[in-house]
Amino acid sequence: MDGRVSLRQVAMRFGDFTAIQPTSLEIESGEFFSFLGPSGCGKTTLLNMISGFLTPSEGSVTIGGTDMTRVPVNRRPTAMIFQNLALFPLMSVYQNIEFGLEVRGIDRQARRRRADELLELVALAGSGDKPVADLSGGQKQRIAIARALAVEPRVLLLDEPLSALDLKLRQHMRTELKAIQRKTGITFIYITHDQGEALTMSDRVAVMSEGRIRQVADPMTLYRQPKTDFVANFVGENNRFPGRVVSREAGMVTLDVGLPAPLAGHSTDPLEPGDEATLYVRPEQWRVGPADDRRLPLSGVIRTEHFEGAWLTLEIALEHGPTIRAHVPHAAAGKSLEGQFAVGSVCRLDYSPNQAVVLAGAEAGQPSEEAIDVAATA
């Protein structure tokens, strides 16, 4: 079963508004692929073009090697799981799952057999005769999956299906979705604004903003090697240090960011001394030590301290510089009792330049809730 999806220069315009800029993308057969982005970034529009609810203004959509651009939604080899699940409330669980098979003219016995198999797959065997209204949130979720899988789609499209569930169930369903995907080998295309979902489940993630794909990569690369300011800020947390390039040596770039000493990070962008660039240091990359630890080059004052369970979040105002956020492991945080990480006390800190990323440009990309723009707080 060929579940490749190719988008070639697809664009979507609604009047003057361009929801999707011309975009090309190849999704492999059997891949768990996610579109990650804030609301309004165009990810749902893209999904609707793959499912057939929207016809692109330009470009083509190919599924399994066949051009689907003008094929109506009911004739595409895709199935969708809706954000609100959209189970048919007047039908039983069986009738819901069998709906797509009934449409295809499959006889009653074969339908029932297939429905039972699917109920088995989603661990709800024996609940076929229940009315949909009697199911819990998690059970409804599984029935929606079973209903979509019943039609044996080449591509399963998931539109933020977990957003209505509570945290525990959501985490559990992530594991389960991934397991179902492995078992069935169907291409999963997943839409979410929740980076946790995208990073834990996906083989590859496309980060989107303002109708454009900003980066396509596997979750690890996305986190470690962001290619744009937007991705660096949207995926995980980051401390931004905009500045100018002082020197470059192999992959390592040193930046003057307004601190007493220049800071270094590695970069794949073609940067020359004098160019504007930004250094990104993730909160967990900071090493925070006591005020008398001279091996740590930077110094600052702790402004706030939040207990987060596994770690402490500190906001530290750097000497002659901006305020940064740092995550300190819980084991080290134990010392806060002795006043080392107490609010108002001085600390010293360092990071590993090998893990820090430098990107060209000092302009802030589209800010997101997670982004902490240290330039603004400075």
Partner 1 sequence: MWQQLRNRFGVPLTMAIVALLGIWLIVMVLLPQWQMIDYSFHPSLLPAERGGEKDVWSLTNYATFFNNDIHLAIFFKTIWSSVLVTLLTLIVSYPLAYYLAKVATPGQAALCLLLLIIPFWINEILRTFAWYIIFAFRGPLNELLFALGLIDRPIRFLNGDIGVLVGMVYAYILFMVFPLYNAIESLDSNQIRAARDLGAGWGRTHRRIVIPHAKPGIATGCIMTFMLAAGSYAVPALLGSPGSRWFTQIIYNWFFEGGDWNQGAAYAFLLLVLCIVFVTVIMRIFKVGLGDIAK
Q: Which residues bind partner 1 (CB under 8 A)?
A: 51-53, 73-75, 78-80, 82-84, 86-88, 90, 99-100, 103-104, 147-148, 150-151
Q: Residue 25 or residue 73: which is nearer to partner 1 going by CB? A: 73
> What is the rounded distance in angstroms from the CA atom of residue 49 to the CA atom of residue 166?
29
Q: Closest separation between CB of residue 152 and partner 1, Å?
A: 11
Q: Residue 160 or residue 305: which is nearer to partner 1 going by CB? A: 160
Q: Residue 149 or residue 205: which is nearer to partner 1 going by CB? A: 149
Q: Closest separation between CB of residue 84 and partner 1, Å?
A: 6
Q: Closest separation between CB of residue 54 and partner 1, Å?
A: 11
Q: Residue 186 or residue 199: which is nearer to partner 1 going by CB? A: 186
Q: Closest separation between CB of residue 162 and partner 1, Å?
A: 16
DSSP one-letter string for 137-204 = HHHHHHHHHHHHHHT--SEEEEESTTTTS-HHHHHHHHHHHHHHHHHH--EEEEEES-HHHHHHH-SE
Q: Closest separation between CB of residue 141 and partner 1, Å?
A: 14
Q: Residue 86 or residue 110: which is nearer to partner 1 going by CB? A: 86
Q: Which two tokens stand for residue 244?
A: 């100018």
Contact 232, 259 (CB under 8 A): no
Q: Residue 97 or residue 231: which is nearer to partner 1 going by CB? A: 97
CB atoms within 10 A of CB 351: 24
CB atoms within 10 A of CB 191: 23
Q: Residue 84 or residue 352: which is nearer to partner 1 going by CB? A: 84
Q: Closest separation between CB of residue 151 and partner 1, Å?
A: 6
3-state secondary structure 19-77: EEEEEEEEECCCCEEEEECCCCCCHHHHHHHHHCCCCCCEEEEEECCEECCCCCHHHCC
> What is the rounded distance in angstroms from the CA atom of residue 300 to the CA atom of residue 291?
9
Contact 266, 252 (CB under 8 A): yes
Q: Closest separation between CB of residue 132 and partner 1, Å?
A: 11
> What is the rounded distance in angstroms from the CA atom of residue 3 to the CA atom of residue 77?
9
